[in-house]
C-alpha cells in the first residue's frame, strides 16, 4: 500500500515532464506562427514527442492553446508578485534603488520569454478568444498597478515623493520604464542588460523630476 504511491509518482513525473515539454514547444510555435499557422506536427517535433502524445495530453488544438495561456499567465503573475516584493520600501538612495527595481521588473516580467509570449498571444488571439485572457485581464495588470501604487503612496507618506494620484503615477512609472524599449519589444529584438539599465535610468530620472522630493531627514 505504501509503495503504491511510488509508481504513481514516477508515472506522473514522466507524464508532467512531457506535459511541460509540450507546453513549452506549443508556446513557442503559437507565438511564432499564430494559432492558425501553428502546426501540431511541428509542436510535437519541437517537444520531442509524437503527435499522438500531444493529443493524449491536451486533446484539442484549442485546448492546447488554453493550457499554454494558463501556464504563461500563472508564471507571469508569479514573477510580478516576486519582483514587487523587492520594491525599495525603505530606501537609502531612492534613485539608485528605483533603477534597480525597474531593471528587475523588466528582466523578470516584461522582457523575458514569458512576457514576450503573453504580449504576442494577447495581441494575436485576444480578440478571437476574449475569455482566454479574461482572468489575466482582471488579476494581472490591474493588480500590479494597484500594488505598485500602494508602494508609491507609502513613499509619499514617508516624504520621498509628492504625488497627486498614486495610481496614475504607477502607470506612468511603468510606461516610462518601457519608453526606450518599445521598438525593441515590438520587433522582438532581445535587449541587453545595458540597454535595460540605461532605459531604467532615464525613466527614474524623469519620474523623480516629476514626483521626487528632496530627501527626507
Partner DNA sequence: ATATTTTTAGACATACTTGTCCAAATCGTC
Partner DNA sequence: GACGATTTGGACAAGTATGTCTAAAAATAT
Interaction site with a copy of itself (CB under 8 A): 32-37, 119-120, 122-124, 126-128, 133, 137, 141, 164-165, 168-169, 171-172, 174-176, 178-180, 182-183, 186-188, 202-203, 205-207, 209-211
Count the residues in the chain: 217
Residue 50 binding DNA, by CB under 7 A: yes
Give the nearer residue to DNA in terms of CB position, either 59 or 141: 59
Residue 46 binding DNA, by CB under 7 A: no
Distances 57 to 19, 67, 82, 193 between C-alpha atoms, Å: 7, 10, 30, 38
**The entry of DNA, a copy of itself, none that residue 1 binds, CB within 5 to 8 Å by partner kind:** none
**Which value, to the nearest 10 degrees, does the dihedral of the CA atoms of residues 61, 65, 70, 72 take?**
130
Give the nearer residue to DNA in terms of CB position, either 40 or 147: 40
CA dist., res. 129 & res. 136, Å (int): 13
Instruction: Copy the grid coordinates of residue 43.
Output: 509542436
The least CB distance from residue 64 to DNA, in Å, is 8
Let me know: does 163 contact 152? Beta carbons within 8 Å: yes
Residue 20 binding DNA, by CB under 7 A: no
The least CB distance from residue 35 to a copy of itself, in Å, is 7
CA dist., res. 145 & res. 167, Å (int): 7
The least CB distance from residue 202 to a copy of itself, in Å, is 5
Residue 51 binding DNA, by CB under 7 A: yes
106: left (phi over 0), alpha (psi -120 to 50) or beta: alpha
Q: Which residues bind DNA (CB under 7 A)?
A: 3-4, 6-7, 9-11, 14-15, 18, 38-41, 48-53, 55-57, 59-62
Amino acid at each position: 500500500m505504501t509503495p503504491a504511491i511510488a509508481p504513481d509518482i514516477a508515472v506522473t513525473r514522466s507524464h508532467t515532464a512531457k506535459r511541460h515539454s509540450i507546453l513549452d514547444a506549443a508556446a513557442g510555435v503559437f507565438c511564432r506562427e499564430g494559432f492558425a499557422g501553428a502546426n501540431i506536427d511541428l509542436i510535437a517535433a519541437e517537444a520531442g514527442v509524437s503527435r499522438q502524445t500531444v493529443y493524449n495530453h491536451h486533446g484539442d488544438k484549442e485546448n492546447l492553446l488554453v493550457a499554454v495561456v494558463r501556464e504563461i499567465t500563472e508564471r507571469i503573475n508569479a514573477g510580478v508578485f516576486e519582483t514587487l516584493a523587492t520594491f525599495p520600501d525603505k530606501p537609502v538612495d531612492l534613485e539608485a534603488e528605483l533603477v534597480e527595481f525597474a531593471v528587475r521588473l523588466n528582466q523578470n516580467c516584461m522582457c523575458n520569454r514569458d512576457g514576450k509570449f503573453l504580449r504576442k498571444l494577447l495581441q494575436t488571439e485576444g480578440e478571437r478568444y476574449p475569455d482566454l485572457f479574461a482572468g489575466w485581464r482582471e488579476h494581472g495588470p490591474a493588480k500590479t498597478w494597484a500594488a505598485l501604487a500602494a508602494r508609491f503612496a507609502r513613499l509619499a507618506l514617508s516624504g520621498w515623493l509628492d504625488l497627486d494620484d498614486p495610481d496614475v503615477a504607477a502607470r506612468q512609472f511603468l510606461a516610462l520604464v518601457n519608453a526606450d524599449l518599445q521598438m525593441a519589444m515590438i520587433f522582438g529584438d532581445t535587449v541587453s542588460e545595458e540597454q535595460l539599465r540605461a532605459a531604467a535610468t532615464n525613466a527614474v530620472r524623469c519620474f523623480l523630476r516629476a514626483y521626487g522630493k528632496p530627501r527626507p531627514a
